[in-house]
Chain A
Amino acid sequence: QVQLVQSGAEVKKPGSSVKVSCKTSGGTFSSHAINWVRQAPGQGLEWLGGIVPLFGTTKYALKFQGRVTISADESASTAYMELTSLTSDDTAVYYCARDRYSDSSDNYFESQYWGQGTLVTVSS
């Protein structure tokens, strides 16, 4: 049984940074991509980027390039997402999600397993 457990809610000041963790258990950590998706209040799903821990390769949505860093610690089976230069527009629930399938490349596939979400509130 694959499970993803995220770190707790955060309240941040504008201009600061936030780092959210996603610890996985069960299954194979390294070979499956882990993606980060956010959802602003009342809005849809938005992809920030992802990582395949086996290769250490990352991909980022154009909108977030330069502001987001995704990393992984294989020894801890944990992925991280750091977002900098926060504004109120970054207030959202941030989800990590693990692919159902891996073809041992840096392709991303459908997300079968999701974390519980981490609410990040940006407010002065």
Chain B
Amino acid sequence: IVLTQSPGTLSLSPGERATLSCRASQSVDRNFLAWYQQKPGRAPRLLIYATFKRAIDIPDRFSGSGSGTDFTLTISRLEPEDFAVYYCQRYGSSLTFGGGTKVEIK
């Protein structure tokens, strides 16, 4: 399975809504789709798993949705600390990552 993320870069201002897309080349079994946030020099941080479940300590401005081959991460109101790179990941029998979306300050 290949995961394609779009857009490559999203330029937004704090307080705006961010919508990130992840499209799979085949249907993702059991909606085994996760999202991670990564900041420079840091390990990735799990945000969302099983398509829509928030990981521990993740604020509710982060939400996930989708099914089959199309998935979305939404950040309802961007905080300054949300500007980072976001990756989707399919898991199950193996792992696959998308290429990432950078959310930058406009």
Asked if A80 CB lies within 8 Å of chain B CBs, one says: no
B46: A residues at CB distance < 8 A: 100, 110-112
* CB <8 Å contact, B92 and A114: no
CB contact under 8 A between A45 and B55, given known A50-B95, A95-B43, A111-B44? no
- B99 contacts across to A, CB distance below 8 A: 44
Q: Which chain A residues border B96 with CB–CB below 8 Å? A: 47
B91 & A44 in contact (Cβ 8 Å cutoff): no
Q: In the complex, what residues of B have CB within 8 A of residue A114's CB?
A: 43-45
The interface residues of chain A lying within 8 Å CB-to-CB of B50 are: 110
Question: Chain B binding site: helix, strand, loop or mixed by DSSP?
Answer: loop
A102 to B36, CA, bound (A): 19
Residue contact B55 to A112, C-beta cutoff 8 Å:
yes
Q: A107 is contacted by which of B45, B87, B92 (Cβ under 8 Å)?
A: B92
Q: Which of B56, B91, B97 contacts A46 (CB 8 A)?
A: B97
Give the interface residue-count category, chain B. 20 to 34
Shortest Cβ gap from A48 to chain B (Å): 9
Expressed in whole angstroms, the Cα–Cα distance for A95 and B44 within the complex equals 9
Note all chain B residues with C-beta closer than 8 A to A44.
Answer: 87, 97-100
A115 contacts B43, C-beta separation under 8 Å:
yes
Chain A CB within 8 A of B34 CB: yes
From the candidates B32, B36, B87, B94, name the one contacting A59 in the complex (CB within 8 A).
Answer: B94
How far, in whole Å, are A107 and B95 apart by their CA atoms in the complex? Answer: 10
- Distance in Å from the Cβ of A3 to the closest Cβ of chain B? 12
**CB proximity of B64 to chain A, nearest CB, Å:** 11
B residues near A47, Cβ cutoff 8 Å: 94-97
A residues adjacent to B (C-beta < 8 A) = 35, 37, 44-47, 50, 59, 61, 95, 97, 100, 107-112, 114-117
* Inter-chain pairs besides A59-B94, A108-B91, 4 sampled, C-beta below 8 Å: A47-B94, A107-B93, A114-B45, A115-B43
